[in-house]
Amino acid sequence: MTRPGIFGWSYPPGVTGREPEITGEWGPCECCGCDPADCLCPECPVCGEQGNPACYLVQGGEKNHNLEYNTEQLIGQCKMRIADMKENLRYEELALIQLTELFEQEKASAEQGQGGVGASGSEDGTSER
C-alpha cells in the first residue's frame, strides 16, 4: 500500500513557501507585491534602491533609510499576504482530504483485520460483531 506524503508540503511557521519557479525569476516585489517589472515602489533617496524592504526597516526607533510605505504598497502587501494565505488554505484542505481518506482506509482495514481470515497466530477469540 502506498502512503502519500501527507506532511511533505507543510512549511515551518514563518515560511511562505513562495518560490520563483513559475516565471523562472524572483517573485513579486516584497514591498509592493507587484511583478518586479511593474514595481511601483519609489526609489530610496539614501541608497537608490527600489523595493528593498531593508530601506523601510525600523531600527532603534528610526526608519532605516527614512522610507515609509505608501498606501499603494500596503495594498500590494495585503494582496500578497492574502494570496499566501489562500495557498496555505489550499494545502490544508488537501491535507484534510488525504487524512480523511487515510483514516477511512485505516478504519476499513482494521475492521477487515478483525474476524477475517486468521491473520497471524490465533488471538483471543472474541466473537465478531
The residues binding Zn ion (CB under 5 A) are 29, 31-32, 39, 41, 44, 46-47, 51, 55, 65
Task: Please say which residue, 10 or 49, places its beta carbon nearer to Zn ion.
Answer: 49
Nearest 5°: the CA angle 56, 88, 105 is 160
User: How far apart, in Å, are the Cα atoms of 43 and each of 3, 108, 112, 121?
Assistant: 51, 62, 67, 76
Cβ 15 to Zn ion shortest distance, Å: 21
C-alpha of 33 from chain center: 17
Task: Please say which residue, 12 or 60, places its beta carbon nearer to Zn ion.
Answer: 60
Task: Let me know: does 65 contact 43? Beta carbons within 8 Å.
Answer: no
Cβ 79 to Zn ion shortest distance, Å: 12
Task: Please say which residue, 47 or 85, places its beta carbon nearer to Zn ion.
Answer: 47
Task: Please say which residue, 5 or 61, places its beta carbon nearer to Zn ion.
Answer: 61
Cβ 31 to Zn ion shortest distance, Å: 4
Question: What are the strands, taking DSSP E only, across 1-129?
Answer: 58-59, 62-63
